[in-house]
Amino acid sequence: MEGHWDATGARMIEAIRAAVGDPNIKVRKMPWRVMRLLSPFVPLFRELSEMRYLWLTPIRMDNARLTAVLGAEPHTPLEEAVRETLIGLGCLEVRQKSGPLPARRSEGERAGSRS
């Protein structure tokens, strides 16, 4: 799949800002030196350090085989995909068509509602 091409990461940042509804979300550089220093002690930092090349080298996947079968690759607009992903991960509340955001339920309330 080709997916969404974003050579600089700027489109992803803007999509996240739009999904959250805050155009002023700050963006910081990844603290690679700190992560490298702590990688012997923090497995996540070790794994991220190993994947650093993905931040340094633009990688664009070829979808020629997929489009040969499908004709055209279906695409969800980036902003919609980011919003739905953040909702699915529980990082963003689902907005109703009108009115305020619904109140979040605790894990206990959610577990209790399944029985």
- Can you give the three-state secondary structure of 24-77, one letter per residue? CCCCCCCCHHHHHHHCCCCHHHHHHHHCCHHHHCCCCCCCHHHHHHHCCCCCCC
The per-residue pLDDT for range 28-62, each reduced to its tens digit, is 998 999 999 999 999 999 999 999 988 888 888 88
Angle at 12 between CA 102 and CA 63, to 5 degrees: 115
Residue 78 has pLDDT above 80, yes or no: yes
The more confidently predicted of residues 110 and 93 is 93
Q: How many helices (H) and strands (E) does the chain have?
A: 7, 0
Percentage of the chain beyond pLDDT 70 is: 82
pTM for this structure? 0.66
User: Domain-by-domain residue ranges, the chain?
Assistant: 10-112
